[in-house]
Structure 1
Amino acid sequence: MERINRQKHLSLMQRSAIIGQHIAGLSNGQISRSLNRATASKWVNRYVTEHSLERRPQPGQVRKLDELDLNDVAERGLDTPFINAAEVGRQYGVHRDTIRKVWNDIGLFNFVPAKKPKLTQDQRDERLGYALQNLTRYWPNVIFSDEKVFQSDSQQRLHLYRPRNCRYDERYIQPIQRSGRISAGLWGWISIDGPGEMTMINGRLNSTGYTEILEDNLLRTIDISYGGLGNIVFMQDNNSFHTSKLTRRWFSRHPELELINAPVNSPDLNPIENLWAKMVHDWKNVFPRNRARLGDYIVERWEAERNNPHYFQNLYASMPYRMQEVIDKNCGMTKY
């Protein structure tokens, strides 16, 4: 005996064929056997009682958004990048995928936000002055320095909806929140040739400790690397102990070093920050159990970068573009 097909839903053409055979005088059983379908009686009754061949909405089926809702959902996505699709879906009685489709249709897609510091107006003004002053600087003779604390990040990973190719636009950036869980700190410098030397920091660094690092590490290693200190430009940020009276006095005793201070809260203008980020990114499947082992692993990662000279050349090549982007973005954060 031929098995009757129990397909869940019939097409409109199949439903019309059922009614056509019903009008021709065939019984429901004959129609079912003729079309190999088991639902002939259902559609015959629907046609007789309702004069319709349309499927009824299923219980629990997600309702569609009307035109007003669609416009409202679209505006909310445009106005509030860090919005939650599931929460909006609950408010409209639809699934979050429905909300996401509305946003996708207007060019908004789900991404993890870039993390950048939030700038004050004074900091913006300082960035503009720095960019204008250094737009045509010769960067290959600049040494960049910085401190880095390796620590766990307790921030929740957020998502947002934004257009493509806008990752570093200010309204789509997640401000960095500082955590107090310090694991290990270091100071280091880089040149266009690669990593210089680094020094592990014990406890909180102050002006005395910083000038000792400059004396014992910076001067000695630059002299070894370059055979002297002539024509060297040294860049540091405007940290309080970088600009203290003691530190300024130390630099006054070493006029062979030309000093430039980068703007406050501007890691995107110091390429050593890219090295820190790369070290963190490459930090895989290593879980040091104590501070000493953590320090050893940091040194290992630092030394490994000596085998990557093109990386540092590319960082230095980006400096003129960083300055120009600060100007173009009205002093906001750049993509670097």
Structure 2
Amino acid sequence: MTLNNREIIRGQIVALKEAGLSGAEIARSLEVSRTTVSLWLKRIKEGNLSNRRCVMGAPGKITAAEEKLILEAARQQSVLNAVEIRHQLQLYHVSDKTVRRYLHKAGMRYPDPPVRETIRDNHKKARVRFATQHEDAGPDFWGRVIFSGEKSFSLNSSGKLKCWRWNEPRYKHKSLSSLAESDLVTSSFWGWQWLHGMGELVPIEEDFTADKYLEILEEVMLPSVRAYALPYPEEIVFMHNNCPIHTAKIVQRWFEEQQHIQVLKCPRLSCDLNPLEDIWTSTVSAWKPEYEKTPAQLLHHTESQWETFRSNPQTVYRQVMSVPGRLKCVLQNGGSWIG
């Protein structure tokens, strides 16, 4: 009820009361509750006609010192959740929700930490060289690039790990989770995208070798790219990283035989420069391992996410056109991970 409406009802109650109507008759006449009528009549009698609501609310339960301890605990042990922080600090007089609210108030989030290998000086130098070589490339160039990549999904505990972090780069060292060597890989995929949409997604049901990669290039990549991306005789700029499978001799010979394909080798540990990584990240974020536990369920989930992006070409376009900005960030960060 607005302030003006309350004033109107109060005036009507006063007028009807002065006319000799009872509280019940006033309530029926104005179609309000008898409690409302009684409340206003009581206020009128006591002379308390303030229209301002009195909202008492509970006093703050966390002191400034305790708030500082909460934030410090999240900084020092970022993997602790709000429940664990509350118990560690013995803040039994407040709820888990209160602790979480103060962390959110401080601008902290609790997402999954990215799992990345340590990026060393030689990797940084290679990333800087790559960024320097292509920082001035425009839409005409990136519009011909076929971004490719592989992704393996695993069922393990690290996938459920989260950590608190402020608005800082996603790949900042303290926000990273160590790469687990014992992951139980359940499903692997290869796919490609370009400026105007998604390409093909290929499930990998066996060990991914150079021979298997060459088979995908010949039977999937090249025919599909020519069919609905870059028809002959347009040149294809094909981007992949320099992992051993991609640099195998049989793969290199195949590319040398393709007169209309220019290979763009992305440095090792540079998935953050490949917009296809955004697709994989979104697929992982939407994955619910408690319900999608089998390889068949994971296959269905991944294909569904892929088709979702296929139906949103504007999103894919923005991802690809973000590459020049990513290269600038690499140069600004001296080759380190970008946010």
Identify the TM-score tier after normalising by the shorter chain: 0.5 to 0.7
Q: Please give the secondary structure, in 2, of the residue aligned with 1:325.
A: helix
- Equivalent positions of 1:92-171 (< 5 A) are 109=108, 111-112=110-111, 114-121=113-120, 122-137=122-137, 138-155=141-158, 157-163=160-166, 165-168=167-170, 170-171=172-173
What amino acid sits opposite 2:285 in the alignment? H
Gap regions ≥5 residues in structure 1: 1-61
Mapped partners of 1:216, 1:247: distance in 2: 14
Mapped partners of 2:153, 2:75: distance in 1: 36
Tell me if 1:250 matches 2:254: yes
Which position in structure 1 is the counterpart of 2:179? Answer: 177
TM superposition shift of 1:133 = 1.5
TM-score (ref. length: structure 1): 0.66
Q: Please give the secondary structure, in 2, of the residue aligned with 1:111.
A: coil
TM superposition shift of 1:245 = 1.3
Which position in structure 1 is the counterpart of 2:199? Answer: 196
Gap regions ≥5 residues in structure 2: 1-60
Mapped partners of 1:198, 1:134: distance in 2: 27
Moved more, 174-183 or 285-294: 285-294
Mapped partners of 2:296, 2:264: distance in 1: 33
Which position in structure 2 is the counterpart of 1:308? Answer: 312
Q: Please give the secondary structure, in 2, of the residue aligned with 1:175.
A: coil
Aligned-pair Cα RMSD in Å = 3.8
Mapped partners of 1:110, 1:201: distance in 2: 34
Tell me if 1:331 matches 2:335: yes
Q: Please give the secondary structure, in 2, of the residue aligned with 1:259.
A: strand
Task: Identify which of 221, 232, 238 aligns with 1:234.
Answer: 238
Cα 1:204–1:86 change in 2 (3 A) is same
TM superposition shift of 1:142 = 0.6
- Equivalent positions of 1:209-220 (< 5 A) are 209-220=212-223
Task: Identify which of 259, 271, 276 aligns with 1:272.
Answer: 276
Moved more, 179-188 or 241-250: 179-188
Task: Identify which of 200, 207, 211 aligns with 1:208.
Answer: 211
Mapped partners of 1:282, 1:183: distance in 2: 17
Mapped partners of 1:71, 1:195: distance in 2: 47
- Comparing both chains, which one has the higher relative contact order based on Cα–Cα distances under 8 Å and sequence gaps of 6 or more? 2
TM superposition shift of 1:107 = 5.2
Cα 1:194–1:91 change in 2 (3 A) is closer
Moved more, 154-163 or 86-95: 86-95
TM superposition shift of 1:80 = 5.8
